[in-house]
A = this chain, B = another copy of it.
Amino acid sequence: MGSTAQFDPSSPVFRLHEGGKLAMRSKTALTDREALSLAYTPGVAQVCSAIADDPALARRYTWRSRLVAVVSDGTAVLGLGNIGPAAALPVMEGKAALFREFAGLDSVPIVLDTTDPDEIVRVVQQIAPSFGGINLEDISAPRCFEIEARLRDSLDIPVFHDDQHGTAVVVLAALRNAAAITDRELGDLRVVISGAGAAGVACAKILLAAGIGDIAVADSRGIVHSGRSDLTPVKAELASLTNRSGVTGSMADALAGADVFVGVSAGAVDEISVAQMAPKAIIFALANPTPEVAPDVAHRHAAVVATGRSDYPNQINNVLAFPGIFAGAFDAGARSITENMKLAAAAAIGEVVAGELAPDKIVPTPFDPRVVPAVASAVAEQAVADGVAS
């Protein structure tokens, strides 16, 4: 990545990161005996006893019910890959800062000195009583799927792997609006997804859930189909769920006649392939910092173009999803984040700009103040409808 060039302590980035990006604060000043006796001994014993008698009171009398653990093992960090827990910590601090700034939620980065899935599951289970929700982050595929599934099954608090579902939710929101402004039904689109990692798998699943039947996924070896002998269990499942027209071959083969390209890998796609897409094509080239299809190239062949970058219109950014999703889950006291809650989040994000749709405005900007309240409200309502609220 070009942005990782060198260590320059005097640059704005390094100056901003000096001492880290987070701080803890005490909500009560402890400057005299009276304050200390309420917040700590002997007063706190009353609160402990009340919770011991009625565990549900922990939600009311501790900070954990609105506290997210941002958990990573540092194996799949941004475009940097497996850089380990210490080097991943600045990203997790950034994520925690986003939870605070966008949704007013408290959040703590937890980076792990293990990459073993069994150990990761166990350690998160063990620290779970400290938190109200678990945001898994930058854990490499396919381990991320198993880790999330086992934690979802075993914990009674929301567990959410943002690299999967955050991306998928925003892609669905954007795609629904892109279909609307090009006068098509979501269900009629033929979609090609480039990348069968965390984001690719989750995008495929949420698009299927939203009613898109014709999806082909490609990884670095070409289109994922049941005839391939090199598939991981997750990709084998993907092969059985997608590719109903049974295409095989390369990305170029998949793109011929496709309506939508969703790029969630760093693999570049050449202009000749893009040119074979159907009329009014939709191109989401989300790789950062270098989109799979350069925006100027994409615009020559597509009606709607989105990227992951903040310096182009239509930025597909997870920050549109995860702050509101956790806020809504916490508002409802949700024990999990259901598939319906993700669909509700996608609908809410899309609806924010429904009255102002344009080819360069299919999603709100990350700083649109309407987003988090809309998402939180939709997610909380769906949690109640799904019976996971408390």
Contact = CB atoms under 8 A, between A and B. Distances in A.
Interface of A: 1, 3-7, 11-14, 16-33, 36-55, 57-58, 60-67, 77-80, 83-91, 93-98, 100-102, 106-114, 119, 122-123, 125-130, 288-289, 310-311, 366-367
A3 B112 contact: no
A51 B128 contact: no
A175 to B, nearest CB: 22
When all copies of this chain in the complex are counted, the total is 2
B63 A19 contact: yes
A62 B24 contact: no
Nearest to A129: B85
A14 B61 contact: yes
Residue of A16, A67, A289 ringed by the most chain B CB atoms within 10 A: A16
Given A22-B63, A40-B94, A58-B89, 6 more contacts: A1-B42, A1-B49, A14-B50, A24-B25, A109-B130, A127-B127
Contact of A47 (B17, B24, B64, B130): B17
A91 B55 contact: no
Given A20-B63, A58-B87, A42 B93 contact: no
Contact of A24 (B22, B32, B40, B79): B22
8 contacts: A12-B38, A13-B44, A14-B46, A30-B101, A39-B94, A42-B288, A44-B91, A63-B93
A197 B221 CA distance: 62
Contacts of A52: 80, 83-84, 87
B51 A87 contact: yes
B43 A13 contact: yes
B22 A38 contact: no
